[in-house]
């Protein structure tokens, strides 16, 4: 849909890490283990989203190149 780009999300990575730990702090009991058990999977989902975004962008570029050739 073009709402954002992978590059802009990659530049915001430090803020995302901080945000994940803040959410973990607010939603879990006050111990570091629980906070980490929530924050780390959230961050990993963010990274997986970036990976899929790169894959989709690459496939779209290849499909556009094929369409222009034909």
Residue-wise pLDDT tens digits, 24-65 = 999 999 899 999 999 999 999 999 999 999 999 899 888 888
φ/ψ bin of 2: left (φ > 0), alpha (ψ from -120 to 50), beta (otherwise): left
Q: Is 24 exposed, middle or buried (0-12, 13-18, 19+ CB in 10 A)?
A: buried
Is 28 domain-assigned? yes
Residue 45 counted as domain residue? yes
User: Per-residue pLDDT for 1 more than 70?
Assistant: no
- Domain-embedded: residue 1: no
Distance CA 18, CA 26 (A): 12
Q: Is residue 18 included in any domain, yes or no? A: yes
- Does residue 35 lie in a domain region? yes
What is the count of structural domains for the chain? 1
pLDDT value of residue 49? 95
4 contacts: CB under 8 Å, gap ≥ 6: none
Domain that holds residue 16: 6-69
């Amino acid at each position: 849909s073009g709402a954002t780009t992978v590059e802009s999300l990659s530049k915001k990575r430090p803020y995302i890490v901080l945000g994940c730990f803040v959410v973990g702090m607010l939603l879990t009991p006050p111990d570091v283990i629980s906070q980490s058990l929530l924050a780390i999977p959230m961050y990993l989902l963010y990274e997986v989203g970036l990976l899929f975004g790169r894959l989709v962008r690459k496939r779209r570029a290849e499909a556009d190149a094929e369409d222009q050739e034909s």
